[in-house]
């Protein structure tokens, strides 16, 4: 549903990136929903110690990006721009 909410509110060139976002489920730690056999980025406004430890164990700590839109309202756009071209 977030996809439908964002369409029309974001630049058209960002839509293909939204289509790549897949929903997931977890019970305790969000890392339970990550398929570590595939490349991923995890964007979130918080991370618990257990989640951080799992990322460290899997050698994937660099896949986590802390999001703070109050401090940087353009942070998501900056991330997209840094990964395109």
How does the average pLDDT of the chain come out, rounded? Answer: 86
Between 4 and 74, residue with greater pLDDT: 74
What pLDDT is recorded for position 33? 92
User: Mapping DSSP to helix (H, G, I), strand (E, B) and coil, where does residue 38 land?
Assistant: coil
Residue 42, pLDDT above cutoff 80: yes
pLDDT of residue 73: 87
Write the DSSP symbol of residue 54: H
Is residue 23 very low, low, confident or very high in pLDDT (cuts 50, 70, 90)? confident
Q: Is 59 left (phi over 0), alpha (psi -120 to 50) or beta?
A: left
């Amino acid at each position: 549903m977030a996809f439908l909410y964002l369409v029309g509110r974001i630049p058209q060139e960002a839509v293909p990136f939204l289509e790549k976002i897949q929903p997931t489920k977890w019970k305790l730690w969000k890392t339970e929903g990550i398929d570590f056999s595939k490349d991923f980025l995890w964007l979130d406004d918080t991370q618990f110690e257990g989640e951080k430890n799992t990322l460290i164990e899997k050698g994937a700590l660099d896949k986590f990006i802390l999001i703070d839109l109050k401090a940087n309202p353009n942070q998501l756009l900056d991330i997209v721009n840094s990964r395109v071209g």
